[in-house]
Structure 1
């Protein structure tokens, strides 16, 4: 910016053209934004600052051109950034919850009864070290539970956070995102744990859903150009939920909870960029939900 100031002053000294004020504001940031507009258009300017105002001045010969460019800039940004944007409401939340509950309960019953003569926990649990060689375990482990309390807890919180994700992304895309993030979370957790450690349960996917919510809300606030503290707030809320729901208890798998949340963050941020048209596409939602089921069935086919 300083080079632009020097260029302008030199030209004025040589030509002795009078300077015309084209913008004035008490906010220095507003003045800097307009200065960037002038610089982009190749219009030399001077920026004068005093305790009461910040001003932009240009050569009289280019004042009309500068005013036109600044006026066009004002028109393009008249309603930007918006004060707020309504949260997107997509379909498929209840259907996704019903399918989520059906899968967890079905696998629990099959495991308890040793269906197909298999030990489902031995075949599908996430094992430190081994899960890297058998990546399907990172997915199948999400559907296994040690007992009814473990299952019920994940049914309740999974339904809650899964519904919120589906409300923004739709039932198909939302639950596919949760499944992918939960699987990645289990893989990261397995890489961090030592050999012989066992992990199972949908809680990794539950915290992946929390991560998706945090990432998507952060992206929305960045889009709205909200203040830094408001942008950081979703991360603080995610950390509070992790501390309150994911750190207590003697048998709590803290590693899987943390990695699940971490895996959900970038997926949520990317998913937030989906257009309303994409999210409202019923065929895409059905295809995404079907893909989630195919991935799950394929993983269990490999495990058994």
Structure 2
């Protein structure tokens, strides 16, 4: 029996040995042959065929597990449509800032993050505060980085899921801060909490992609560290850009870690839920969250 592929040689020997099937090995040039007894030949073929079937199933399972996180991210790390959507969203945020700036201060007062008010039941502030900004410099900074990160997340997850996860992660971070820091009496506003949540989502995806890639590489120190490199990079960005003077450090940090959590959750979203109808439903959901939050704020 010829062994046509070298990588099958040792596994075939292990299969035959596990079934107590006698064999000898002969080398003819560069070709290896397994010499079997005639009476053992049918059993050997059956066992080797069963091994090949199980190996193929295992390979297919590994491909299914890795493809949504590795293949899709590698092939679609940037999408023009995702960039257009991200630019549209933050342009609308800019237009909303102009709209609020022309109104009475009551809009800003009713929408900013305030821990005590949130603990008293004004949960809409967790969302409305993400849409308010102190000035144009504050807004443009979030617009620039948010557009880049939302484009990358939208290219991986789809624009609908990326927007909904960004908004939910930012709102969750604001809610947690209200209870983690009950002694805080300051007010906070800005989309930066949601922007750092996007960073966390991307770090979660990149970490899982590197983990699957590392399984197929050598077990050197650098390969073993690959899964945590995106997390270290995200923490470095958080330390560099999220700790500026007068910035909401607690909001940035909690946004990043809530983004990590939702990023790992998003890995479980099946491909069937990333189609356009579901993306559209996510757009509607995110839009309704914005509208309902401000409706409750202005009651």
Q: TM-score range by the shorter chain?
A: 0.7 to 0.9
How do 1:1-304 residues align onto structure 2 when only pairs under 5 Å count? 24=10, 57-60=18-21, 64=44, 67-77=48-58, 85-87=71-73, 89=76, 92-114=81-103, 117=104, 119-132=106-119, 133-193=121-181, 194-224=183-213, 226=215, 227-247=223-243, 249-279=244-274, 281-304=275-298
- Give the superposition deviation at 1:184: 0.8
Comparing 217-226 and 234-243, the one that deviates more: 217-226
Report SS of the residue matched to 2:144: helix
Query: Using the alignment, how far apart are the partners of 2:9 and 2:224 within structure 1?
Result: 27
Report SS of the residue matched to 1:296: helix
Query: Using the alignment, how far apart are the partners of 1:241 and 1:191 within structure 2?
Result: 26
Q: Higher helix proportion, which one?
A: 2
Report SS of the residue matched to 1:129: helix
- Give the superposition deviation at 1:118: 5.3
Does the 8 Å CA contact 2:154/2:161 hold for their aligned counterparts?
yes
Does the 8 Å CA contact 2:128/2:294 hold for their aligned counterparts?
yes
Does the 8 Å CA contact 2:214/2:226 hold for their aligned counterparts?
no
CA pair 102-273 structure 1, distance change in 2 beyond 3 A: same
TM-superposition CA deviations, 1:12-42 (whole Å, max 9, x none): xxxxxxxxxx9847xxxxx9xx8xxx9xxxx
TM-superposition CA deviations, 1:218-246 (whole Å, max 9, x none): 23344556354221122112112111211
Structure 1: gaps of 5 or more residues:
1-21, 26-30, 39-54
Structure 2: gaps of 5 or more residues:
1-7, 23-39, 216-222
CA pair 238-56 structure 1, distance change in 2 beyond 3 A: farther
What is the aligned residue count? 253
- Give the superposition deviation at 1:160: 0.8
Backbone CA RMSD of aligned residues: 3.0
Query: Using the alignment, how far apart are the partners of 1:288 and 1:174 within structure 2?
Result: 9
Normalising by the residue count of structure 2, what TM-score does the alignment of the two structures yield?
0.74
Does the 8 Å CA contact 2:72/2:156 hold for their aligned counterparts?
no
Does the 8 Å CA contact 2:211/2:226 hold for their aligned counterparts?
no
Does the 8 Å CA contact 1:24/1:56 hold for their aligned counterparts?
no
Normalising by the residue count of structure 1, what TM-score does the alignment of the two structures yield?
0.73
